[in-house]
Amino acid sequence: MSKRMGSRILLNLVCTLVFVSITSAHEVTITRRAFVAEDTELQAGTYRVEVEKNQDSPEVLFFQGGDLAAAARAKLTKEAVKCNHTEVHYDEVDGGRVITKIRLRGLKDGLVLIYPNRTSPIAE
C-alpha cells in the first residue's frame, strides 16, 4: 500500500470518528424521578437521550441500558449561545415533578417538553 493511500485511509477514519462523535446521543442525569410525558415517569438515573427531528413535533427518546425507557414530544428552541454542560430544568405541576426543558452540551437548541393535557404554563 502506498504512503498516499495510507494517508487517505487515515484521514477518512478520523473524519468518520469526528462525525460519529458529533451526531452521537447525549447523556442526561435525572436527579429525582420526574415525568417526561403525560403518563411516563422516569426514575432517577443516567439516560442516553436521542432527538428525532424528522417529524412536525420532534421526539426525545430516553434510553437506559440499551432499552427505550420513555419517549416524549418536544419543541425545539434556539438559544443565544451554546450550552457548556447539559442542563435539565424541572417544575412542580399538578402534584408531580416534570421535566420542562433540556439543554444539551455543545448545542444551541433547547428542548421544551410538551405536556398537552396538563393545566400549567408549560401546557401546549
Is residue 52 within 8 A of residue 16, CB to CB? The reply is no
| Domain presence at residue 123 | no
| Domain presence at residue 10 | no
| Domain presence at residue 4 | no
- Give φ, ψ of 23 to 5 degrees: -90, 5
Is residue 55 within 8 A of residue 66, CB to CB? The reply is no
Write b or e for each residue in 68-79: b if 16 or more Cβ atoms lie within 10 A of its Cβ, otherwise e. Answer: ebbebbbeeeee
| Domain presence at residue 13 | no
Is residue 36 within 8 A of residue 72, CB to CB? The reply is yes
22: pLDDT strictly greater than 50: no
Is residue 102 within 8 A of residue 28, CB to CB? The reply is yes
| Residue tagged 411516563 (cell numbers) | 40
| Domain presence at residue 29 | yes
- Total tally of structural domains belonging to the chain: 1
79: pLDDT strictly greater than 70: yes
Lowest mean pLDDT among 2-6, 39-43, 46-50, 71-75: 2-6
| Domain presence at residue 5 | no
| Domain presence at residue 33 | yes
Provide the pLDDT for residue 21.
38
| Domain presence at residue 15 | no
- Domain range for residue 32? 25-113
Lowest mean pLDDT among 15-19, 52-56, 93-97: 15-19
